[in-house]
Amino acid sequence: MVAVPIGSLIGAVILSSIILLATGHDPLATWQRLLERGFFSEGALSATLVQATPLLLTGLAAAAAFRMQTWNIGAEGQLYLGAVGASGIAIALQSQSAALVIPAMVLAGLVTGAAWAAIPGALRAFFRTNEIITSLMLNYVGGLLITYLIFDSHSYWRELSTFTSRVFPQGKYLSPSAAWPSLQIAGIGVPFGFFIGMFAAAGLWMLYRSTRFGFEARVIGDSRSAAHYAGIRTRRKIVAVMALSGAFAGLGGASEIGDFRHVLDPRGLQQASFGYGGIVVAALARLNPFAVIVVALLLGGLSNGGFSLQGADFPAGLVGTLQGLILFCALAGELLVHYKIRLGRPAGVSHKPADAARVGAA
Partner 1 sequence: MNNSLLVVIVASAIFYGTPLLFAALGELLAERSGVLNLGVEGMMLMGAVSGFWAVQTFGGPGWLSLLSGVAVAALVAAATSLIHAFLTITLRASQIVSGLALTIFAGATGLSSYIGHVANLSGKPAHHEFTAIDVMGLGDAPFIGPILFHQNALTYASWALVGLILLYLYRTRPGLHLRAVGESPATADAMGINVTAYRYIHTMLGGALAGVGGAFFSLAITPFWLDGMTSGAGWIAIALVIFAFWRPELALVGAYLFGAFSSLAFTLQARQVHLPPEVFSSLPYLMTIVVLVLVSSGWGRRRLGAPAALGVPYVREER
- Chain residues binding partner 1 by CB under 8 A are 19, 23-24, 71, 73, 123, 126-130, 132-134, 136-138, 140-141, 144-145, 147-148, 152-153, 273, 276, 279-280, 283, 315-321, 323-325, 327-328, 331-332, 334-335, 351, 353-354, 356-361
Residue 277 one-letter amino acid: G
Residues in the chain: 362
100 vs 316, beta carbon nearer partner 1:
316
Q: Which candidate, 360, 289, 330, places its Cα nearest to that of 58? A: 289
CA gap 303, 80 in Å, rounded: 19
Nearer to partner 1, 50 or 125 (CB): 125
Q: Measured from the CB of residue 360, what is the shortest distance to partner 1 in angstroms?
A: 4
Q: How far is the CB of 105 from partner 1 (least distance, A)?
A: 25
**How many whole angstroms separate alpha carbon 159 and alpha carbon 179?**
18
| Residue number, 17 or 147, with CB nearest to partner 1 | 147
Contact 177, 166 (CB under 8 A): no
Q: Which is nearer to partner 1, 95 or 225 (CB)?
A: 225
Chain mean position to CA 268: 16
- CA gap 128, 75 in Å, rounded: 20
**Shortest CB 321 distance to partner 1, Å:** 5
Nearer to partner 1 (CB atom), residue 139 or residue 182: 139
Question: Residue 52 Cβ, how far from partner 1 at the closest point, in Å?
Answer: 17
The minimum distance between CB 71 and partner 1, in angstroms, equals 6
Q: Angle at CA 194, nearest 5°, toward 188 and 195?
A: 95
Residues 246 and 195: their CA atoms lie apart, in Å, by 18
Helices (H) and strands (E) in the chain, counts: 16, 2
**121 versus 258: smaller Cβ distance to partner 1:** 121
Question: Which helix (DSSP H) or strand (DSSP E) does residue 35 occupy?
Answer: helix 27-35
Shortest reach from residue 180's CB to partner 1, in Å: 27
What is the smallest separation between the CB atom of 210 and partner 1, expressed in angstroms? 27
Contact predicate 58/197, CB 8 Å:
no
Nearer to partner 1, 189 or 324 (CB): 324
